[in-house]
Structure 1
């Protein structure tokens, strides 16, 4: 999916909502465990109930890998079920030497046909470039995350006094463009979002941390939105686990609808 199509979907739905499919067998409603494929049965219901409001879905690959071959089957069925006009993100956080990254890219872009993949930048250009060679596919590079250990490295000053995340932003923009490169930016600190936006004014940000992790959607929009919206805001647990009963799909829909309505207001306010 190209940038123009993605932005068009955001405009059409008045939404920049990404629904995270972090589907855990231990957390899905117990009645689904009788299904032949409980993971897919859960995801199918979530997609059916939230597709009106979502412009992206983001399966966290670890939840599927942990189940072995069956998990990969559930993931592929889920990916095939997502409407084709909705952006798909493989939250895989890959990144290895060039020939290995090339095979990761083939796996997720050719075999599975995801629109994008999250990538760690630590090994540098040759670990990222293979993912950028695919037309209308995206790299979502880890830039400034909001987990507890993010300060261990991401904000350390490098030579010249720049924090490491700034170096990542500046250098990576020589590898790709705002047509194929996005950044992961955590939602829990509005001032930090503004700082990242200063160094990447035209790129899309994938922003986790809104909802269960306490990030403010208002702050994310205020500090992160640009003329093309420039945001995909992810909510996982707050939507998909809104209920653990038979009404889980309707509960997920209600939560997704609330976020979409707030996003529509923010698009009008800041867009």
Structure 2
């Protein structure tokens, strides 16, 4: 049952059009902590509202936690419920931790004996599990990163991913305040990405009549600048498609990036 649920959620991540997709997110209990006994609890879910648990759990099989020194960190007390997953992280080192779920792979569609077929998996399994001479074969490569940041004591530098879409903060993501400007660089395969739309939405959307989304476009250097209208948890989302696939049968590559950022009051 758990395996079936994981596959269904992966399908939603890899195949849902942007306009109809649900929101994927990680939500930490705190983003800034201090002291030697620092812990954070994180919710992980897929929902119809940012940070409101009302649909499905986000699977944790591809969870990747990185300490300030670059070492992998093991999540503790992990669970997957009916509508959310969760885990705890002990912050044993001072500095900034990156908590991410990375989903990557291929989606293939074809016809077999007059019936539509669909397959999802890794490039390594593609050659053996998908008929290479399949009728009407269509293959898409996907890469999505969902992440958040937590700092114990003093903030430290964050390393951006060099695959797919990622974010390089010019303003530290745990040093954001209402009414102040913050700058980030959007990266595509590790390089600044120009003319990319970035969507930002404050949480607690269910308690207001308008979404109040902010849309900004990266400049020639891949940079964006945001002024936070008020305090709260913000959902930052980026999507991009191109033909830079690593599998010759795949003609399109669909990329996404989502971050949870906490903005504090002045």
TM-score (norm 2): 0.29
TM-score (norm 1): 0.29
More strand per residue: 1 or 2? 2
Larger Rg: 2
More helix per residue: 1 or 2? 1
More relative contact order, 1 or 2 (CA 8 Å, 6+ apart): 1
